[in-house]
Structure formats: C-alpha cells, structure tokens
Amino acid sequence: MPQLKLSYFDFHGGRAEPIRLALNIGGVAFEDHRFAPAEFPEVRKTTPFGQVPTLQVDGVQVTQCDAMLRYAGKLAGLYPTDAYQALLCDEVMYVVEEAGVKMGPTFRMTGDEQKAARLALVNGSMPVYLAWLQARLQAQGGEYFADGRLTVADLKVFVDVRALNSGRFDHIPTDLIAKVAPALNAHNQRIAQHAGVAAYYAKVAAK
C-alpha cells in the first residue's frame, strides 16, 4: 500500500472530506494533515496551484480533488469497476464540484455583495443541480448514485448536502434542499447511518 498524506484545512467538510471518508471507510492508512486557516498562506506556497487539498503518494504531490477522490475510492473499494457505472459515478462528482466552483467566489465576499451573489445562486443554478441530483438518484433506484452500492459519488453528495443544510453559509436557506430535492435529505440520512461513516465521525468527535 502506498504512503499517503492528505493536506487540508482542519474542519469537517470541504473538498477533502469525501476523500477522508473514503480512506477511513476502506481502512486505508493515511496521514490526515490538517492545518488552521491562518497557516494557509504558507501551505499554499508548497502547492502547484496555490490550492488544497493535495495528496502525497509515496512523496509525489497530486492535486485536483475529484482525481484524488477517485483514487481513494479505488483503494477503498468504493469506486465502480464497470465502465458505465464509473461514468455515472464521475458524472455526479463533477456536477457537485462544478456547483462548488460557482459557490467558491462568494467566500471572498462580504455584506451585500455576498448576499446578492448567493441569492443569485439560490434562485438560479442551485435548484437546477440539486433537482438533477435527485432525478439521477431516483433513476438509479433511490438508494445510491451508481453501482447499486455506496461509492465515492454518494460521499461527495453527502458532504455537499450536509454543508448546505448546516446553516454555516449565510444567505443559503437551510430548507433549500427540503424544498427542491427532498430525496437528497433522505439519502443524506442513510449515508450518515452507514457504519463506516458513523464510525469516522465518532472517531473525529472523540479527538
């Protein structure tokens, strides 16, 4: 097994969280390097694009969170081996990532500018991608997004829905998903009750 070091901010959520979950669920050993936001200016100097997360694989630094998540999924047995099911898994991951890219600039805004930008998403692209995810989930039977079992696509959606429901994002209504894609909340509850997911959060809460 390769030596792995995952570097990201010290909080639950964000782009590294599905990777952390996948590796923990699969019992894959890795160094979970977490740092405070105040340390980021120095950390980013060590990354190719000034971004995190990064993953070191036997000392080789890799970027791009969905590539890392797919790799973690393969190591953990949470990525489909069937080409079509892998396509469905990737499609869901990319849709969630694209939504995150649209949300990203709003974190650098404040006041009325942030409010206007986030309300534009709430009234524009966010209901579209959430409704699409719900339709994709239901088309696959309503339990999982691909392969008829837990995959990294489910973990990616789980972290996204958890964040949107959390109330941490100003101007994002916590009932948005309940209104436009309630099946995603039911999915979120199922994934939270998965033994591996529950064990991960119990472990980090105990630290």
90 and 49 in a common domain: no
**Residue that is last in its domain, among 78, 95, 117:** 78
Q: Which strand (E) or helix (H) includes residue 9?
A: strand 4-9
What's the pLDDT band for 1 if we cut at 50, 70, 90?
A: confident
8 and 96 in a common domain: no
96 and 8 in a common domain: no
Rounded to whole angstroms, what are the CA distances from 46 to 63, 76, 95?
12, 27, 28
139 and 56 in a common domain: no
**Residue that is last in its domain, among 78, 111, 133:** 78
- Spell out the residues 6+ positions from residue 130 whose beta carbon is closer than 8 angstroms to its own: 176, 177, 180, 181, 184
Question: What is the residue range of 25's domain?
Answer: 4-78
What whole-number percentage of the chain has pLDDT above 90?
97
What's the pLDDT band for 205 if we cut at 50, 70, 90?
A: confident
Instruction: For residue range 24-78, list pLDDT tens digits in order.
Output: 999 999 999 999 999 999 999 999 999 999 999 999 999 999 999 999 999 999 9
Residue 109 covered by a domain = yes
96 and 32 in a common domain: no
Q: Which strand (E) or helix (H) includes residue 118?
A: helix 111-122
59 and 148 in a common domain: no
pTM of model > 0.75: yes
